[in-house]
Amino acid sequence: MGVVFGGRSGEHAVSLRSAASVLGALDPERFDVVPLAITPEGRWLPPHDALRALRPGSEAGAGVALAAPPAGGGALVGIGAVPAAAGGVLPSLDVVFPVLHGPGGEDGSIQGLLEMCDLPYVGAGVLGSALGMDKVAQKDVLARHGLPVAEHVLVLRHEWRRDPEAVRRHVLHELGLPCFVKPANLGSSVGVTKVKCAADLPAALDLAARLDRRVICERAVDAREIECAVLGNEEPEASLPGEIEPGHEFYDYEAKYSAGGSRLVIPADLPAEVTAEVRAMALRSFLALDCAGMARVDFFLERVGGRLLVNELNTIPGFTATSMFAKLWEASGMPYPALLARLIDLALERHRERRVGWEAQRALAGDGGGDG
Ligand SMILES: Nc1ncnc2c1ncn2[C@@H]1O[C@H](COP(=O)(O)OP(=O)(O)O)[C@@H](O)[C@H]1O
Ligand SMILES: [Mg+2]
């Protein structure tokens, strides 16, 4: 199996940590693991260079150009020079685990590449990944399914640059202050600003619009942060909920990844009916966004009034053995190695389901001979 990690997104370093945990926990008796790293510049490294790339800042090797073979057939091939030390060819893979966060890895891009290769892979497909990545599209679909989300406004980079005053007025009028400004397609709180006074809004929009063409502005809520892990395909299961207690004003990058930056409370201390509501809403969100394999669904539980909002769903949540996702499953009776094995089984199951459709379409095309 292939484990792909790194990537061009602002979450490269987070991916390296997740991948180190995954590579360390895959049972070598059951899996023949082929590590593949993507450098911050987007070069793919073959296995022998990939492991070196796990160390942040290390000099990576030459890299290799990759392509989906035109005939599909369960392979990802290296074209051009795969260094002789790497065996000259890429080993064939039977399943791939993209341990990538952010654009290029979590947004349907690599999922599309793997589809074209006819390779099973862990996690959501193209649609679920794309909806999981874009905070605006995601909220719009969740709302259509009756799931409560925070009020928000989409701002496009070119709108902001063309007419900043109109955008500023629109955001303040629709949302008021404080509000959150975030790139629509990033994670790990990269580029996220809490704006408390109108004078700070332009800098927040500048930052987010530098990182992404699409920016989401959201009304700030005063809420506890509750997370729930989901596992499965057509009939997913929800873990016990956990709670994040950020040591900072909000759950920013530092709070997420520095030692002592925040506290995870597992299971979250919630009344039974709130726990049940969190789990039910997590499953509804997973299905509404057409996810597969896994997701972590994050909620806001408002301190006043107790309203539960879906903040976001992540299709490739932070995946170290001490990340919320793994901890929630551990608390729900599934240790990390078993979780990995289950995700791979789910990947194979989803791939078989997709094949059914392909085969039926081929049969239909063979019968008919219409013109498309
Ligand atoms: N509307 C909001 N109200 C209150 N806090 C928010 C809001 N949006 C984001 N936050 C804070 O910022 C953090 C990161 O935002 P989030 O939308 O989850 O982006 P990311 O994908 O980077 O995790 C959240 O965990 C929360 O602490
Ligand atoms: Mg988040």
Beta carbon of 14 within 6 Å of any ligand 1 atom: no
DSSP letters for 45-73: E-HHHHHHHTSTTPPP---BEEE--TT-S
Asked if residue 93 lies in contact with residue 34, where contact means CB atoms within 8 angstroms, the answer is: yes
Find the range with the poorest average confidence among 214-223, 281-290, 358-367. 358-367
pLDDT for residue 130 is more than 80:
yes
Q: How far lies 223's CA from each of 152, 249, 305, in Å?
A: 16, 12, 10
Give the mutation target among 136, 190, 192, 252 for probing the ligand 1 site: most ligand atoms within 8 A of CB.
192
Going by pLDDT thresholds of 50, 70 and 90, the confidence category of residue 286 is: very high
**What does CATH list as the number for 152-219?**
3.30.1490.20
Work out which ligand 1 atom sits closest to the CA atom of 222.
4
Amino acid residing at 222: D
Asked if residue 238 lies in contact with residue 229, where contact means CB atoms within 8 angstroms, the answer is: yes
Give the mutation target among 138, 151, 311, 314 for probing the ligand 1 site: most ligand atoms within 8 A of CB.
311
Q: What is the pLDDT of residue 215?
A: 98
Beta carbon of 251 within 6 Å of any ligand 1 atom: yes
Q: What is the pLDDT of residue 344?
A: 97
Dist. CA 124–CA 132, nearest whole Å: 9
Report domain extents, the chain: 2-121, 133-148+222-337, 152-219
pLDDT tens, position by position, 170-193: 999 999 999 999 999 988 889 999
Dihedrals phi, psi of 54, to nearest 5 degrees: -65, -25
| 188 CA from centroid of ligand 1 (Å) | 9
Asked if residue 315 lies in contact with residue 297, where contact means CB atoms within 8 angstroms, the answer is: no
Going by pLDDT thresholds of 50, 70 and 90, the confidence category of residue 266 is: very high
The residue whose two tokens read 């409560």 is 148
The residue whose two tokens read 């008796």 is 29
Dist. CA 78–CA 168, nearest whole Å: 48
Average pLDDT of the chain is 90
Work out which ligand 1 atom sits closest to the CA atom of 314.
21
Give the number of whichever ligand sits closest to the CA of residue 261: 1
Asked if residue 140 lies in contact with residue 151, where contact means CB atoms within 8 angstroms, the answer is: no
Which residue owns the Cα nearest ligand 1 atom 16? 189
The rounded percent of the chain whose pLDDT value lies above 90 is 72
Q: Please give the residue that has the higher pLDDT: either 140 or 255.
A: 140
pLDDT tens, position by position, 312-357: 999 999 999 989 999 999 999 999 999 999 999 999 999 999 999 9
Beta carbon of 358 within 6 Å of any ligand 1 atom: no
pLDDT for residue 44 is more than 90:
no
Which residue owns the Cα nearest ligand 1 atom 21? 187
Give the mutation target among 225, 243, 251, 308 for probing the ligand 1 site: most ligand atoms within 8 A of CB.
251
| 195 CA from centroid of ligand 2 (Å) | 17
Going by pLDDT thresholds of 50, 70 and 90, the confidence category of residue 141 is: very high
Q: Is 175 exposed, middle or buried (0-12, 13-18, 19+ CB in 10 A)?
A: buried
Is it true that domain 133-148+222-337 has CATH number 3.40.50.1820? no
Going by pLDDT thresholds of 50, 70 and 90, the confidence category of residue 301 is: very high
Q: What is the pLDDT of residue 64?
A: 60
DSSP letters for 69-131: -TT-SS--EEES---GGGTSSPPP-S-EEEE--STTTSSSHHHHHHHHTT--BSS--HHHHHH
| 47 CA from centroid of ligand 2 (Å) | 31
The answer to whether the 2-121 and 152-219 domains have the same CATH topology is no
Which residue owns the Cα nearest ligand 1 atom 25? 251
Give the number of whichever ligand sits closest to the CA of residue 180: 1
Work out which ligand 1 atom sits closest to the CA atom of 188.
22
Q: Is the pTM of this model over 0.85?
A: yes
Q: Please give the residue that has the higher pLDDT: either 86 or 194.
A: 194
Q: How far lies 272's CA from each of 240, 276, 277, 307, in Å?
A: 11, 6, 9, 15
Work out which ligand 1 atom sits closest to the CA atom of 191.
22
Give the number of whichever ligand sits closest to the CA of residue 300: 1
Going by pLDDT thresholds of 50, 70 and 90, the confidence category of residue 299 is: very high
pLDDT for residue 217 is more than 90:
yes
Hey, CA dihedral for 216, 220, 225, 226, is it positive or negative?
Answer: negative
Asked if residue 238 lies in contact with residue 255, where contact means CB atoms within 8 angstroms, the answer is: no
Q: Please give the residue that has the higher pLDDT: either 309 or 50.
A: 309
CATH topology of domain 2-121: Rossmann fold (3.40.50)
What is the distance of C-alpha 313 from the center of its chain?
Answer: 8
C-alpha distance across the termini of the chain, in Å:
36
pLDDT tens, position by position, 88-108: 566 778 899 999 998 889 999
Long-range pairs, 259-265, Cβ under 8 A, ≥24? 264/324, 264/327
DSSP class of residue 242 equals E
Omega of the bond leading into 202 within 30 degrees of 0 (cis): no
The mean pLDDT of 162-166, rounded to a whole number, is 98
Beta carbon of 189 within 6 Å of any ligand 1 atom: yes
Q: What is the pLDDT of residue 48?
A: 75
